[in-house]
């Protein structure tokens, strides 16, 4: 373990400091992505024709390599955390918008009609009826988005040390200390797993009516969105 | 707009179109890395996904493994492999394959699981062998979803293969990494545009494969 937690002083952060910096750079974009995805998803459900173009646009944004995105943004936002966080936020949309749309579409028609008959207006129905039912689908998307966001922050190391734990990678190459690279990968992966577990707990808290785990009977009907491996199910 | 100007001057510069550092050469390299990574990931992910999906066993283990693979930072893995293994194609392939396996594996598993059980039971009742049921009943019905898993894997690979340039290999990432160090934004923007176009081509390709490979009956049912 010699040297494992010895962070070179030119990073100007302790190990814990790097972790908290990494979490900020990874999670704030996801939060903003969710805030953006909710109204966009609502619009896509409301206006069917809007959904395919939105999917294509987010997919193209998603396809732009993070490094290129960062470098282009340097012109506008400089070497700041914002330069890393803006692309990450846009990337989350390709996962979150379909999750929101699929989740809201999975709300049974009877439920919608009942809510409408009770005189609940459209926006309130979205917020109080449809979104809670869509929580499992949205959470599934959120898990994928968070994992990829945590992993992508590291690339920020290539543009002037904005990669938090990823900065360990560049110093590992600079000083020929492979252990620092191991540290970076292991810590990042551990953070991703930890946050993922927290999201699972959060989903259970938010959907108390759901059984804690998939019973065998629910197996066949489990939606793909629940495993949510697909960032963009254009199908 | 700034970005569009960069793009225009990058693509209209004749010297960018031929030679060792030309666009055709770089795109060709990029496609080679991407295709190799996708084929390896599919060779690993598809059979496991199909078998676990068919038997319905090991789903939790599968979710666990792919969550773990997803948690690994691709860029970190690349640098780590580079530090350990040195220059070469292997340190690039490993992170790309690790990146692509979770979508292939989980989507295939879920696709097979979500096939309507009644035709499967009917096939079993007619005395079809299990292997035949999987390949002739379940796979055709699950094909659109399986393809969508491969598609998202392919797009992630194409976009991420740029980092190969960071450890001295070629590909379109060369423009982005070199442009970064030369402060030549024209190159960076041009490279990014090339990747975006490649990703769109992947979308089109998979759409076309879907048109050809998916049986019309399945397509109609999904459309309905």
Is the model's pLDDT at A173 over the cut of 90?
A: no
Domains contained in chain B, number: 1
Which pLDDT does position A39 carry in this prediction? 92
B83–A232 CB contact, under 8 Å:
no
Which pLDDT does position B222 carry in this prediction? 58
Mean pLDDT of A131-156: 90
Q: Give me the phi and psi of B43, to 5 degrees please.
A: -65, -30
Q: Where residue A46 sits, what CATH number does that domain have? A: 1.10.3720.10
Is the model's pLDDT at A217 over the cut of 50?
A: no
Q: How far is B172 from chain A (nearest CA, A)?
A: 10
CA A43/CA B162 separation, integer angstroms: 34
CB B94 within 8 A of CB B77: yes
Highest mean predicted confidence (pLDDT) among A82-96, A115-129, B53-67 = A82-96
Residue A123 lies in a domain: yes
Q: Could you give the percent of chain B with pLDDT greater than 90?
A: 22
Which member of A59, A158, A178 has the closest CB to residue B155? Answer: A59
pLDDT band at A231 (very low <50, low <70, confident <90, very high): very low
CA A56/CA B218 separation, integer angstroms: 24
Q: How many helices (H) and strands (E) does chain A have?
A: 10, 0
Which member of A62, A65, A230 has the closest CB to residue B103? Answer: A230
Q: What are the helix (H) ranges across chain B?
A: 2-12, 23-55, 59-71, 74-85, 90-113, 117-125, 130-132, 139-160, 173-182, 185-213, 216-223
Residue of chain B with shortest Cα separation from A180: B80
Which pLDDT does position A156 carry in this prediction? 86
Is the model's pLDDT at A133 over the cut of 80?
A: yes
Which pLDDT does position B177 carry in this prediction? 87
Report CA torsion sign: A48, B107, B64, A28: negative
Q: Which residues of B touch A196 (CB under 8 A)?
A: 67, 71
Which pLDDT does position A32 carry in this prediction? 96
Our CA angle for A156, A100, B204, nearest 5°, is: 70
Helix, strand, coil fractions of chain A, as percent rounded to 5: 75, 0, 25
Residue A138 lies in a domain: yes
Report CA torsion sign: B45, B46, B50, B51: negative
pLDDT band at B150 (very low <50, low <70, confident <90, very high): very high
> pLDDT digit string (tens) for B100-114?
999 899 889 988 988
Which pLDDT does position B224 carry in this prediction? 43
Least confident residue range of A211-215, B47-51, B137-141 = A211-215
Which member of B80, B107, B192 has the closest CB to residue A185? Answer: B80
Domains contained in chain A, number: 1
A65–B192 CB contact, under 8 Å:
yes
Q: How far is B117 from chain A (nearest CA, A)?
A: 8
Residue B204 lies in a domain: yes
Residue B187 lies in a domain: yes
pTM above 0.80, yes or no: yes
Distances (CA, A) of B187 to A60, B173, B179, B180: 19, 10, 5, 8
Mean pLDDT of all residues belonging to chain B:
86
Residue B18 lies in a domain: no
pLDDT band at A70 (very low <50, low <70, confident <90, very high): confident
Residue A193 lies in a domain: yes
pLDDT band at A2 (very low <50, low <70, confident <90, very high): low
A229–B77 CB contact, under 8 Å:
no
Q: Which residues of B touch A65 (CB under 8 A)?
A: 159-160, 162-163, 173, 176, 192, 195
Is the model's pLDDT at A220 over the cut of 80?
A: no
CA A228/CA A174 separation, integer angstroms: 38
From first CA to last CA, the distance across chain B in angstroms is: 43
Q: List, in sequence order, every beta strand (DSSP E) within chain A.
A: none
B70–A166 CB contact, under 8 Å:
no
Is the model's pLDDT at A235 over the cut of 70?
A: no
> pLDDT digit string (tens) for B158-170?
988 888 888 878 8
Is the model's pLDDT at B147 over the cut of 80?
A: yes
Burial profile A192-218: b = 16 or more Cβ within 10 angstroms, e = fewer: bbebbeebeeebeeeeeeeeeeeeeee
What is the domain range of residue A166? 13-215
Residue B161 lies in a domain: yes
Q: What is the largest CA-CA distance in chain A?
A: 68
Residue A227 lies in a domain: no
Mean pLDDT of all residues belonging to chain A:
82
Residue A1 lies in a domain: no
Residue A234 lies in a domain: no
Residue A96 lies in a domain: yes
Report CA torsion sign: A131, A44, B145, A148: negative
A72–B63 CB contact, under 8 Å:
no
Residue A231 lies in a domain: no
What is the domain range of residue B195? 3-13+23-223
Q: How far is B19 from chain A (nearest CA, A)?
A: 23
Which member of B179, B188, B196 has the closest CB to residue A60? Answer: B196
**Residues listed for chain A:** 235
Residue of chain B with shortest Cα separation from A214: B60
DSSP labels, B203-214: HHHHHHHHHHHS
Which pLDDT does position B203 carry in this prediction? 86
> pLDDT digit string (tens) for A184-193?
999 999 999 9
Q: Where residue B104 sits, what CATH number does that domain have? A: 1.10.3720.10
A166–B76 CB contact, under 8 Å:
yes
Q: Which two tokens stand for residue B113?
A: 């699981």
Q: Which two tokens stand for residue B2?
A: 């700034």
Mean pLDDT of A96-106: 90
Residue B66 lies in a domain: yes
Residue B213 lies in a domain: yes
Task: Quote the radius of gyration of chain B (alpha carbons, Å).
Answer: 21
Residue of chain B with shortest Cα separation from A179: B80
A67–B106 CB contact, under 8 Å:
no
């Amino acid at each position: 373990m010699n040297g494992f937690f010895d962070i070179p002083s030119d990073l100007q952060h302790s190990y814990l400091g790097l972790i908290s910096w990494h979490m900020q750079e990874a999670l704030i974009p996801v939060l903003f992505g969710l805030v953006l995805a909710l109204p966009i998803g609502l619009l896509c459900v409301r206006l069917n024709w809007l959904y395919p173009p939105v999917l294509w646009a987010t997919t193209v944004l998603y396809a732009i390599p993070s490094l290129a995105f960062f470098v282009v943004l340097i012109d506008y936002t400089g070497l700041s955390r914002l330069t890393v966080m803006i692309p990450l936020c846009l990337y989350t949309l390709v996962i979150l918008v379909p999750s929101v749309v699929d989740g809201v579409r999975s709300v049974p028609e009877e439920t919608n009609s009942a809510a409408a008959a009770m005189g609940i207006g459209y926006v309130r129905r979205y917020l109080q009826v449809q979104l809670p039912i869509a929580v499992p689908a949205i959470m599934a998307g959120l898990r994928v988005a968070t994992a990829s966001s945590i992993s992508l922050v590291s690339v920020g190391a290539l543009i002037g040390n904005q990669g938090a734990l990823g900065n360990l990678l560049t110093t590992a190459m600079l000083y020929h200390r492979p252990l620092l690279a191991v540290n970076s990968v292991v810590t990042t992966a551990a953070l991703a797993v930890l946050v993922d577990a927290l999201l699972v707990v959060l989903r259970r808290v938010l959907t108390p009516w759901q059984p804690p785990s998939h019973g065998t009977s629910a197996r066949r009907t489990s939606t793909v969105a629940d495993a949510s491996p697909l960032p963009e199910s254009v199908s | 707009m700034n970005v569009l100007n960069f793009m225009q001057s990058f693509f209209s510069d004749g010297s960018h179109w031929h030679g060792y550092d030309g666009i055709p050469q770089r795109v060709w390299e990029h496609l080679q890395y991407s295709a190799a990574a996708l084929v390896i990931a599919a060779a690993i992910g598809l059979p496991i996904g199909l078998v676990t999906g068919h038997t319905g066993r090991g789903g939790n283990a599968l979710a666990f493994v792919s969550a773990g693979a997803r948690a690994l930072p691709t860029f970190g893995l690349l640098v780590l492999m580079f530090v350990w293994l040195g220059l070469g194609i292997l340190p690039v392939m490993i992170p790309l394959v690790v990146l692509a396996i979770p979508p292939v594996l989980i989507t295939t598993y879920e696709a097979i699981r979500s096939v309507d059980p009644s035709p499967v039971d009917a096939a079993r009742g007619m005395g079809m062998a299990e292997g035949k049921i999987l390949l002739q009943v379940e796979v055709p019905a699950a094909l659109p979803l399986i393809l969508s898993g491969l598609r998202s894997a392919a797009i992630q690979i194409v976009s991420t293969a740029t980092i190969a340039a960071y450890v001295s290999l070629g590909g379109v990432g060369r423009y982005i990494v070199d442009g970064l160090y030369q402060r030549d934004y024209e190159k960076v923007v041009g490279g990014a545009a090339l990747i975006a176009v490649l990703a769109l081509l992947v979308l089109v390709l998979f759409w076309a494969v879907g048109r050809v490979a998916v049986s019309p009956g399945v397509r109609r049912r999904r459309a309905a």
